[in-house]
Copies of this chain bind each other. A is one copy, B any other.
Amino acid sequence: MPPLPRKNDPESIAARRAALGLDGDGDLGAYVKAAESVTGVAVIPVSVAQIRILLGEYELSEDGDVVETGRGDEEVVVPLAHTEGGLTASVQRGAKAAGLSGGIRTHVVADRITRASCFVCRDAGDALALARWIGDRVDEARAFLRDAGIPELSTYAVLREVKTHVVGPMCHVLWRFTTGDAIGPNMMTRNAYALNMAFVLPNAPVPIERALLEANMGGDKKPSYEFFESGHGKTVIAEVTLTDEAISRVLRTTPGDLEALSWAGTHGAVASGMQSVAFTPASAVAALFAATGQDLGMVGTSSMAHGTARRVEGGLHASIRFPGLEVGTVGGGTNLPTPHEWLTVLGCAGPGTVYRFAQIVAATALALEISASSAMATAGSENFFRAHFERGGIR
């Protein structure tokens, strides 16, 4: 095949579609600014589930802390874009059990996202001197971004802290930002680049051989322990105390069986060197991300999770911690037609809604964890087999 034209004008699009044997013009007007060489679309069905969530209301303080200002109790209709037969029904079953037990309670714990740069120096002595110098100038660096007057810099990406880590002659630097309702990789890139090139390089107390904008310490699209512990995006916990009755009637298992499954699954995770400990959070995260225009390359990282289960008087406490839900409700793909539609259904279209959205993702994942675990928890796991077998959908 000869080289295809690259542009997004109607003629180039038509030429590409013709060369690939695709019918019609694809109706791509809404997408020509979303990417280069747009040629068609991918359509994924969206199903919905209803989940009772006790959502926290949160604000970001001046100092960058996430502060709870209130709490609601509502039935949220959640859009799930996927083709896995049984998945939506499973989320709904978990939601039913949670709803009967009073609903899922969610907490936004923190909000930080990083760009992990690296300065290569002559030796470790110099790298340590640079690390100390940077560590002493966080306030100055924040002021630089605010006052530099460089039009490309974003005032949404506010520098909060800096973490340095010296290995050999490398001074790794994690610039930690808040980015408002956007996920914000581009604004972070711009601001971090400006910090590297215009704040650090000209003023550094030691010679710098290389300034690398990204050198892998921050967990950008790659799961890592640093990500799992310290977060990247919104750190959220969802929890519910399932009643004995909900476990018996809806989930058709027992607290003891669920606890036994959690015990074996946690040890299986450890035995296999898993950094996350949970059953299937990625299924829920991916389905919500695909419906709402999130970056699907972040499904793996945003699905890092730490789940727990514990018998308590009258039932079972279940929870899941997401160290870094990389979500946005403005920018990126969120403005495109169908994402905007589904974010509107969620009450998450536009500014001021990102903490709400992050909590809904966590609650949806917990609903699925409850149901998927229950299907595997009974002796012999008969339920799980049947769920897949009878409702296996198009597989």
Contact = CB atoms under 8 A, between A and B. Distances in A.
B77 A20 contact: yes
A56 B301 CA distance: 31
A351 interface: no
A59 interface: no
Contact of A223 (B215, B274, B310, B319): B274
Classify the secondary structure of A's interface with B.
Answer: mixed
Interface stretch (A140-148, A244-252, A260-268): A260-268
Interface residues of A, number: 169
B84 A268 contact: no
B280 A287 contact: no
Interface in A23-77: 28, 30-31, 33-50, 75, 77
Nearest to A379: B210
Nearest to A299: B299
A260 B178 CA distance: 30
Nearest to A120: B264
Total identical chains: 4
Contacts of A241: 123
A212 B375 CA distance: 10
A283 B220 CA distance: 10
A303 interface: yes
Nearest to A266: B266
B50 A45 contact: no
Contacts of A50: 1, 3-4
Contact of A388 (B190, B223, B263, B336): B190
A189 interface: yes
Contacts of A299: 282, 286, 296-297, 299-300
A276 interface: yes
A336 to B, nearest CB: 6
A279 to B, nearest CB: 7
A216 B263 CA distance: 11
Contacts of A227: 272
Interface string A369-395: 000000011011110110011011111
A169 interface: yes
Contacts of A16: 48
A215 B268 contact: yes
A137 interface: no
A273 B40 contact: no
Given A310-B263, A332-B394, A338-B40, A296 B296 contact: yes
Contacts of A324: none
Contact of A169 (B168, B277, B310): B310
A43 B45 contact: no
A175 interface: no
A10 interface: no
Contact of A46 (B42, B267, B273): B42
18 contacts: A21-B345, A39-B79, A40-B79, A42-B46, A42-B339, A43-B336, A105-B123, A123-B319, A152-B389, A167-B306, A190-B385, A210-B260, A212-B264, A215-B265, A222-B280, A225-B229, A269-B270, A289-B296
Q: Which 7 A-B pairs rank lowest in CB-CB distance, beginning with the nearest? A: A300-B300, A225-B273, A168-B308, A31-B45, A83-B333, A216-B268, A286-B296
